[in-house]
């Protein structure tokens, strides 16, 4: 069974830091690109960033809204991806989803259940 | 303001055919594949369509996707009550070097 389980969400003050984890199982994690997508309450989906596979040199890309503050990493030995969030702002408050996408065959795009991050004083 | 433009709402009666549009530009839809996601209330999004018109295993053939130029659309035929959800389009944007989503379309089954 495919599973992506996010953890690490919670309440943090503006300017603070938080690190989210995404544990994967049931598929070949190392071959896939890992994305983070967030959704503020009642709002649409916003792409945060991604890290590609080792075959693609673990290349990272970020949305302009988080570039320089957020860092995505992965540990293929642990089948886990991470989202390090620094200098958090109130507008970063959202449910954060990790997604695993493989563009080969068969194509897949799995999503976790999400973890809530609340930035508030 | 989302990079990809979707109508905020759509509706239909059971059995009808509904189409949801997604408009972009040459840097995203015009040069990359389009993906569609379905988000049922209180749940995570689920992939509905990939590479413009490919259905993942388990997605009914009532759902179909198409792309032309800088626009794409998702069609749902034989509308059912369980199709009531939010639908999002997505594509890679070469200018932004990132993935972009549409603002989402809330589908109501009357």
pLDDT tens-digit series, residues B10-19: 999 999 999 9
Kindly determine whether residue A97 and residue B44, on different chains, have CB atoms separated by under 8 Å.
yes
Q: How far apart are CA B43 and CA B24, in angstroms?
A: 26
Q: What percent of chain B has pLDDT over 90?
A: 99
Cα→Cα distances A76→A22, A33, A54, Å: 12, 11, 9
**Confidence at A108, pLDDT banded by 50, 70, 90:** confident
Looking at residue A88, what DSSP letter applies? -
Hey, which residues does B93 pair with through a beta bridge? B98
Kindly determine whether residue A49 and residue B98, on different chains, have CB atoms separated by under 8 Å.
yes
Kindly determine whether residue A107 and residue B88, on different chains, have CB atoms separated by under 8 Å.
no
Q: Kindly tell me if the per-residue pLDDT of B49 is higher than 90.
A: yes
Residues 59-98 of B with CB under 8 A from A: 86, 88, 90, 96-98
**Confidence at A79, pLDDT banded by 50, 70, 90:** very high
Chain B contact present for A106, CB below 8 A:
yes
Residue with tokens 């379905």: B38
Q: Which two tokens stand for residue A82?
A: 């991470």
User: What is the model's pLDDT at position A104?
Assistant: 84
Q: How far apart are CA B86 and CA A14, in angstroms?
A: 31
Q: How far apart are CA B102 and CA A99, in angstroms?
A: 17
Let me know how many helices (H) and strands (E) chain B has, helices first: 0, 9
The mean predicted confidence, pLDDT, of chain A is 96
Burial of B55 (0-12, 13-18, 19+ CB in 10 A): middle
Chain A contact present for B54, CB below 8 A:
yes
Q: Which two tokens stand for residue B76?
A: 């749902």
Look at the alpha carbons of B32, B35, B88, A44 in this order and tell me if their dihedral is positive or negative.
negative
Chain B contact present for A60, CB below 8 A:
no
Q: Helix, strand, or coil here: A28? A: coil
Mean pLDDT, residues B77-103: 97
* A69-81 exposure pattern, b = at least 16 Cβ within 10 A, e = fewer: ebbbebeeeebbb
Are residues A8 and A20 in contact, defined by beta-carbon separation less than 8 angstroms?
yes
Q: How far apart are CA B64 and CA B49, in angstroms?
A: 8
Mean pLDDT, residues A52-59: 96
E runs forming strands in chain A:
3-7, 10-12, 18-25, 33-39, 45-51, 60-62, 70-75, 80-85, 94-102, 108-111, 115-119
Q: CB atoms < 10 A from the CB of A94, how many?
A: 22
Q: Kindly tell me if the per-residue pLDDT of A106 is higher than 90.
A: no
Per-residue model confidence as pLDDT tens digits over A29-43:
999 999 999 999 999
């Amino acid at each position: 069974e495919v599973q992506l389980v996010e953890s690490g969400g919670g309440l943090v003050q503006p300017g603070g830091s938080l690190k989210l984890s995404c544990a994967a199982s049931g598929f070949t994690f190392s071959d896939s690109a890992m994305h983070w997508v967030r959704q503020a309450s009642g709002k649409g989906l916003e792409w945060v960033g991604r890290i590609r596979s080792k075959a693609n040199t673990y290349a990272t890309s970020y949305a302009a809204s988080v570039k320089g503050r957020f860092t995505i990493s992965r540990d293929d030995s642990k089948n886990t991806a991470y989202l390090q969030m620094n200098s958090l702002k109130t507008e970063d408050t959202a449910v954060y989803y990790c997604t695993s996408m493989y563009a080969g065959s068969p194509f897949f795009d799995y999503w976790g259940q999400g973890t809530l991050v609340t930035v508030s004083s | 303001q989302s990079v990809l433009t979707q109508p905020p709402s759509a509706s239909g009666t059971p059995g009808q055919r509904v189409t949801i549009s997604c408009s972009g530009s040459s840097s995203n839809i015009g040069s990359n594949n389009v993906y569609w996601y379905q988000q049922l209330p209180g749940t995570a999004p689920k992939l509905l369509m990939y590479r413009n018109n490919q259905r993942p295993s388990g997605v009914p053939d009532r759902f179909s996707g198409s792309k032309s130029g800088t626009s794409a659309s998702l069609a749902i035929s034989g509308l059912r009550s369980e199709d009531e959800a939010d639908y999002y389009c997505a594509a890679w944007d070469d200018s932004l070097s990132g993935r972009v989503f549409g603002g989402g379309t809330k589908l109501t089954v009357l």
